[in-house]
Structure 1
């Protein structure tokens, strides 16, 4: 009898254990199903957000609809040689960022203007002088650093810096420059920079009439894009948006700034990341003049803030229209390492635009022609131009999946100058890549 009771108790325990185990498995299954549903919802939301951003870009820019997805493989190679350098970017829509060198800029949609209005790398300015092609109500000087081959305009204290341009800026234009900062960190005072768009010529934001600006904070915590705003009597709708995008890696470092103005719309990228996209910021006549205003940049405290490779270009017809109308177009927006044929990653945008045009027009084949300025020996420039044209072809084939038989390349060195090689702007105009329909 005792044994029967024991067996009965064991049977009850076994049934209870199996029931509990089944319930436990059922709970696990339910949780797994819920997690899967949440993952699907998140994926759908991400897709909607991406599509919405692309749709806004298309609506505000008037660009054509969706583009095809691009394959990315390896970085471009080649290096060697002498004379030039520039800087660039684009406007399209690829979603997959891949950490593979050139492909890290696969979300970069900035396209530079195609008519150069101003260029300065300070090459012709003496160290210690204020640059000849700039204006200020404060002070500053051209310097070199031990981490760069470039010359820099060192911006100090509370000063505004304006490039000297004969006419007011047009409705559509782009601005690009390298921005270096150093001497910030624990125990150091903060500095601010303002990229300011004015209605009238002035060397400070307060005297520039109605103004729009993007504020950059350099602090112990990092390089921060703080806010974007407009103000003044001509502003119909006041805009003041907090960005608060803080990037510790960019403090005491060099970044590339890209700005696109399309009538009222203003966008800004820091390296490959879009930080600002405000469709109605530049109201009335705001944006006819541009200054960089430094605030509390103190050399005696160890601060250094400098700009180099500064470029303003008007955005006129897009490359598709130019190719259809003229059978060719050229761009100063494909950038190479100095004295080399390695394409800089900031060139991603314009190359993507070219690739999308080729994908949308299967009947178009292109000849790619490299051009240089006249700095250096003529035979050297000829070789360099050929290598650069070859590097562009290689990227279009390997990074963007364009068939190789649709592309040819050649170099013309310094033989077909478009502008005066005795000025910095002229040399920058001559350093270009040309595309001709064949």
Structure 2
């Protein structure tokens, strides 16, 4: 019962307050107990919301087999949708006592990529018909939207020697980031090799060969592995010619899916494959190289069994740093904390932005934050409300456990789909609305 729970918690907290030895350990234990109570003192929503959300909200970090078997079964009642767990008094459900645990980011702990804050382009091909070329892309060749047996996403298949450019109203800004998932299959012994170029152009072109002054990163798919092979620039307007042989070969990434992250800061270009930085060239993008971006396939041959595809493609402009935004506006928002679809599982490529937020908090100990989760309009109101709140709570949990930010400095609420900042009728609009907001308190 609530009364018994309160008595037990109060007794434990009094014991903690009265004990002088092992102070640091007890402080951590006290916070842990408070967090457990916060996680269990919540009300259940309707059976419909419970059934819809419990199927997907079952892990904290992807790839953790122990956590993947856990289901969160407690829900927030409608009248308490916008309240903190700390302020909610309700029945304790015995099924909620199995608490999920933040387990860390592993190799991503050195991942420093921070996505841009202003979304310029997003496409997951959700609105495109299978077999069609996607509506928000341009090409001088061919391609089509497909699905894969082992993925819930739709993919743009890159074929032959075609170039692929996202449709944008304007040239790219001086500072921006690009992210996407890249899958390759059908390579190995006895199979011909293919190449894929990430090309940065000074003028609009559907083929890097006619893009004027340009820079590119070459990816080779061969029987020896997934190889980040070269980075170079060339053309008449380049003042300092740069050509670097990288030859970073990874067998585990062949016939597999990786996440690509690219950061452009004026002339500087950095590129990561999953958590590992492959390129950091401070003067590569000279002479307006980087105004346009294309993906250039080279000898990707479906008739030979090749498949190369992209999904969840995002371009965002990089503006002011987080501290400046917070001090100027009292808040900032990011679409760069990524979750599994319909779940509060935090993807590991979110490490960079979470680390930056934690650093800002450590450098400014007088700043406390309220974390607000927002969703798009996919799904019903009650599920989105619960999902947004669970995601905000998980961000708080990570900042506390992974980055050791004081527990009391962070609050969280969820607002579901109630405060959209963009049109939910488009992929880009929905991506903008799926965000986490941080407000100074």
Shorter-chain TM-score tier: 0.7 to 0.9
Which residue of 116, 121, 124 corresponds with 1:121? 124
Alignment pair present for 1:203 and 2:201: no
Deviation at 1:343, TM superposition (A): 0.5
- Structure-2-length-normalised TM-score: 0.77
Deviation at 1:291, TM superposition (A): 0.1
1:371 is matched with which residue? 374
Cα separation, 2, equivalents of 1:318 and 1:424: 26
Cα separation, 1, equivalents of 2:273 and 2:310: 14
- Structure-1-length-normalised TM-score: 0.78
Cα separation, 2, equivalents of 1:300 and 1:123: 26
2:263 is matched with which residue? 260
Cα separation, 1, equivalents of 2:366 and 2:319: 25
Alignment pair present for 1:164 and 2:156: no
1:404 is matched with which residue? 407
1:108 is matched with which residue? 111
CA contact (8 A) 2:163 2:295 kept: yes
SS, match of residue 226 in structure 1? strand
Which residue of 323, 327, 330 corresponds with 2:330? 327
CA contact (8 A) 1:80 1:340 kept: no
CA contact (8 A) 1:181 1:303 kept: yes
1:20 is matched with which residue? none
Deviation at 1:102, TM superposition (A): 1.9
Residues 406-427 of structure 1, C-alpha deviations (whole Å, 9 max, x = no match): 0000000000000000010000
Deviation at 1:367, TM superposition (A): 0.3
CA contact (8 A) 1:81 1:339 kept: no
Which residue of 387, 390, 393 corresponds with 1:390? 393
Alignment pair present for 1:235 and 2:235: no
Cα separation, 1, equivalents of 2:55 and 2:312: 20
1:56 is matched with which residue? none
Cα separation, 2, equivalents of 1:353 and 1:101: 16
2:278 is matched with which residue? 275
Alignment pair present for 1:251 and 2:254: yes
Which residue of 166, 182, 202 corresponds with 1:179? 182
Cα separation, 2, equivalents of 1:82 and 1:107: 29
Taking the TM superposition and a 5 Å limit, the aligned residue runs for 1:4-403 are: 80=54, 102-403=105-406
Deviation at 1:81, TM superposition (A): 6.1
CA contact (8 A) 1:82 1:380 kept: no
Deviation at 1:82, TM superposition (A): 7.0
Cα separation, 2, equivalents of 1:239 and 1:378: 53
Instruction: Please identify the structure whose Cα radius of gyration is greater.
Output: 1
CA contact (8 A) 1:82 1:376 kept: no
Cα separation, 2, equivalents of 1:350 and 1:233: 38
Cα separation, 1, equivalents of 2:152 and 2:351: 23
Residues 11-33 of structure 1, C-alpha deviations (whole Å, 9 max, x = no match): xxxxxxxxxxxxxxxxxxxxxxx
SS, match of residue 149 in structure 1? coil
Give the unaligned 5+ runs of structure 1: 1-77, 84-99
CA RMSD between the two structures: 1.3
Cα separation, 2, equivalents of 1:172 and 1:234: 20
Cα separation, 2, equivalents of 1:103 and 1:419: 34
Deviation at 1:194, TM superposition (A): 0.3
User: What is the number of residues matched between the two proteins?
Assistant: 345
Moved over 4 A (4+): 78-83
Cα separation, 1, equivalents of 2:54 and 2:135: 31
1:66 is matched with which residue? none
CA contact (8 A) 1:82 1:381 kept: no
CA contact (8 A) 2:371 2:396 kept: yes
Give the unaligned 5+ runs of structure 2: 1-38, 40-52, 58-102
CA contact (8 A) 2:161 2:297 kept: yes
1:94 is matched with which residue? none
Residues 293-346 of structure 1, C-alpha deviations (whole Å, 9 max, x = no match): 000000001000000000000001111100000010000000001110010000
Deviation at 1:80, TM superposition (A): 4.4
Cα separation, 1, equivalents of 2:134 and 2:140: 13
Deviation at 1:103, TM superposition (A): 2.9
SS, match of residue 393 in structure 1? helix
Larger RCO, structure (CA 8 Å, separation 6 or more):
1
CA contact (8 A) 1:328 1:436 kept: yes
Residues 181-239 of structure 1, C-alpha deviations (whole Å, 9 max, x = no match): 00000000000000000000001111101000000000000000001000001100000
